[in-house]
Amino acid sequence: MGIKPYLIFDLHQTRYAIAAESVTEIFLLPELTPVAEAPPDVVGLLNLHSLFIPVMHLNLRFGHQFERCHLTDSVIVVKSEKLLVGIIVHQVETVIDIDDRYIQADLAYGRERNVNQAFVQGVIELDDEMIILLDVNHLVRHPDTLATLVDPENPQPETEIKSIASNFYDTYFPTASSNTREILHQRAVNLKEATNDPESTEIIPVAVVSINGDYFGLDLSIVREFTKIERVTVIPCCPAHIIGNTNLRGEILTLVDIRQPLNLDVTSNNQPTKAVVIEVDDIVAGIVVEEVFDVIDFRPQQLKSVPVAINPNTAAYLKGMANYQNQPLNLLDIPKLMTQGAMTVELMA
């Protein structure tokens, strides 16, 4: 018995969890290289810091019908014994502590067990939703104990199913535009960098978001998570840039609109649907955005100084500018934005 951290993620609006101790990295889906001899659930190989690792799609691993990958899919790299494997999921949510006393294990379906059932470690209820806990070791490999779950008269070994992967884009991104292909390719290039390369340590990880249709970058070191906004409670007598509070898994999160200090149009009254949760010193807040596009690495030399023509009030909150998909990307100075000038406010819980 004990409390362990679990990583929560989403696949087809179902929430799953795996032991956080098995996770080594998380990033958005990059371009992959298919291998003809790979098992059918392995989409391809990825060069991760000069180490080739197989990447499986959880849909295919479960034996579900597969449609296509999405630009917003994430890859969770897990370690089972000495083997590293990437797992493609739809969205990574957060890490939470789970007391195993509340996990219901050994589910009975009134039928003989099958191989796929061995993936499930148990279930638990959280925020009035059921979360399915997965066994990483069983996902990554078929242990000897799983062999007994296969009907010897109707074998279903993975080797009997031919790999469908001949071209990553034709098979998994049949409608990918040239812009989508460039994004996926650049993600792969960034992940290829070796960690023992002295220059690779001089990088700035940035979350790319859109606000009023413009690209902005947030330093990933202060980003706690990305979240959907379900319901907003308006706070009386607060400045206009304080949108209200929302309940984030029992934590009251204040939502902030940063358009005004950035000299952006604030006339839109559309209900916010997404936020980037940031943590600066003792301030935790949700920065409202339209979309989260990417997580990428910039080298310091790739950043340009803020043009003189930009409004000086806006420039005060920018660290610099970069190029993202042939479009300007403004790197925000969130600590300064949240603690100085027009955005200074005592966030309410």
Q: What is the DSSP string of 26-47?
A: EEE----B--TTS-TTEEEEEE
Judge if 37 and 75 occupy the same domain.
yes
What type of residue sits at position 47? N
> Which of residues 192, 220, 236 is at a domain's end?
192
Judge if 331 and 299 occupy the same domain.
yes
Q: What single string gives the DSSP state of each residue in 244-273? A: EEEEETTEEEEEE--TTTTT------PPP-
Parallel, antiparallel, or unpaired: how do β-strands 3-11 and 91-99 relate? antiparallel
The dihedral over CA atoms of 115, 120, 122, 123, expressed in degrees to the nearest 10, equals -120
CB 179 within 8 A of CB 325: yes
Q: What is the distance between the alpha carbons of residues 270 and 287, in angstroms, rounded to a whole number?
A: 15
Q: What single string gives the DSSP state of each residue in 79-145? A: EETTEEEEEEESEEEEEEEEEGGG-B-S---SS---TGGGGEEEEEEETTEEEEEE-HHHHH---HH
* 140, HSE (Cβ side, Cα atoms, 13 Å): 19
Note whether residue 137 is domain-resident.
Answer: yes
Note whether residue 349 is domain-resident.
Answer: no
Note whether residue 197 is domain-resident.
Answer: no
Note whether residue 348 is domain-resident.
Answer: no
Domain count along the chain:
2
**Sequence-ordered list of residues with C-beta below 8 angstroms from that of 234, at least 6 positions apart, any chain:** 243, 244
Note whether residue 158 is domain-resident.
Answer: yes
Judge if 109 and 39 occupy the same domain.
yes
CATH of the domain at 27: 2.40.50.180
CB 275 within 8 A of CB 289: yes
Judge if 207 and 123 occupy the same domain.
no
Judge if 20 and 113 occupy the same domain.
yes
Q: What is the distance between the alpha carbons of residues 52 and 202, in angstroms, rounded to a whole number?
A: 23
Judge if 29 and 125 occupy the same domain.
yes
The dihedral over CA atoms of 310, 314, 317, 321, expressed in degrees to the nearest 10, equals -30
Judge if 38 and 181 occupy the same domain.
yes
Calculate the alpha carbon distances from 268 to 259, 264, 265, 290 in Å: 11, 11, 7, 12
> Which of residues 192, 212, 228 is at a domain's end?
192
Judge if 172 and 250 occupy the same domain.
no
Question: What does the pLDDT profile of the chain (349 residues) look like in tens digits?
Answer: 578 888 888 888 788 999 888 888 888 899 999 888 788 888 899 998 888 999 999 888 888 878 788 888 889 999 888 888 999 998 888 777 887 777 776 655 555 544 445 788 788 877 677 888 898 888 887 544 333 333 444 444 443 333 344 588 888 888 888 888 888 988 898 888 755 455 545 677 888 899 988 899 998 888 888 888 888 888 887 888 888 998 887 888 999 999 888 888 888 777 778 899 998 888 889 999 998 888 777 777 778 887 766 667 778 888 888 888 788 889 999 888 887 755 655 544 4
Give the closest residue to 337 by CA, choosing from 280, 273, 288: 280
CB 44 within 8 A of CB 168: yes
Note whether residue 115 is domain-resident.
Answer: yes
Note whether residue 326 is domain-resident.
Answer: yes
- ∠ CA 210-216-221 to the nearest 5 degrees? 115
Which residue bears the tokens 């696949």? 11
> Which of residues 158, 192, 226 is at a domain's end?
192
The structure's pTM equals: 0.60
Domain residues for 298?
A: 202-343
Parallel, antiparallel, or unpaired: how do β-strands 214-219 and 204-211 relate? antiparallel
To the nearest 5 percent, what fractions of the chain are helix, strand and coil?
20, 40, 40
Judge if 180 and 40 occupy the same domain.
yes
Judge if 257 and 331 occupy the same domain.
yes
Name 253's bridge partners: 246
Note whether residue 214 is domain-resident.
Answer: yes
Tokens (6 digits) for 244: 């209200």
Give the closest residue to 330 by CA, choosing from 219, 216, 218, 210: 216
Judge if 41 and 142 occupy the same domain.
yes
SS3 of residue 164 by DSSP: coil
Judge if 186 and 247 occupy the same domain.
no
